[in-house]
Amino acid sequence: MTLVGVTKGASAEAVREAVRLGLDDVGENRVQEARAKRAALGARQDLQGPGRQPVRWHLIGHLQRNKAKLALELFDVIHSVDSWALIETLSRLSQTRPRPLEVLIQVNVSGEPAKFGCRPEDATGLARAVQRSKALALRGFMTLAPLCKNPEAARPHFRRLRQLRDEVLAACGLPPAAGQLSMGMSQDFEVAIEEGADFVRVGTAIFGTGDRGQET
């Protein structure tokens, strides 16, 4: 299981300190904020975890197509791919990368109108589109559960994403490595882990509240 420290609203120095203490994966919601933070932190190789490997940067917020080129310069993994148009844009822009861009398909399992993510019934088609691209590598699926005081209320949504993942992998003939699950935040990550999360996106529990809003 990978802990992605969500640094929305956190200072560059707070990020540097978290990395010094063992954080290997950093998640940002906004491309512009990531650019400013990366500039303040220095070159990729300058920010290394205890294992002396460069920190991996994850985009966990919604990605607009007009920011895709900049996102490719800043992030190693994109968790929020949710449309055929975005897949086409990322595939085209990633042609010259030395290795395929790692992406996860964001699914709006809860069906909330305010949330980004594809409909569950579209997940298989999007997975096939990624599968066809030589410039992209499918790493799994991401979802946001509704914000609730009781973490147990998130369990059915996490369980549904796990079931959907199994259905998509079977339909597309994809290996288990393409089915990692990104789900769970500060208030419900323990339930997400019980339901099979491979990535948990934790911000408030690491960096405090501040002016953070929703973590992803």
Q: How much is the pLDDT for 83?
A: 98
Q: Is residue 69 part of a domain?
A: yes
Q: Is residue 212 part of a domain?
A: no
Q: Which long-range contacts (CB under 8 A, 24 or more apart) does 119-126 make?
A: 120/160, 120/164, 123/164, 123/168, 124/167, 124/168, 124/171, 124/172, 125/84, 126/81, 126/82, 126/83, 126/84, 126/87
We report the CATH number of the domain holding residue 199 as 3.20.20.10
Q: Is residue 215 part of a domain?
A: no
Indicate if the pLDDT at residue 47 is higher than 80: no
When pLDDT is cut at 50, 70 and 90, the band that residue 212 belongs to is: very low
Q: Is residue 213 part of a domain?
A: no
Burial of 202 per CB tally in 10 Å (0-12, 13-18, 19+): buried
When pLDDT is cut at 50, 70 and 90, the band that residue 208 belongs to is: confident
Q: How much is the pLDDT for 42?
A: 72
The residue whose two tokens read 């992998």 is 169
Q: Is residue 92 part of a domain?
A: yes
Domains identified in the chain, total number: 1
Q: Is residue 12 part of a domain?
A: yes
Q: Is residue 19 part of a domain?
A: yes
Question: What digits encode the pLDDT tens for the residues 10-36?
Answer: 999 999 999 888 899 999 999 999 999
Segments forming the whole domain that contains residue 144: 2-207
Q: Is residue 214 part of a domain?
A: no
When pLDDT is cut at 50, 70 and 90, the band that residue 51 belongs to is: low
Mean pLDDT value of segment 90-102? 96
Q: How much is the pLDDT for 162?
A: 98
Across 15-19, 105-109, 150-154, 155-159, least confident range: 15-19
Q: How much is the pLDDT for 46?
A: 57
The pTM of the full predicted model, rounded to 2 decimals, is 0.92
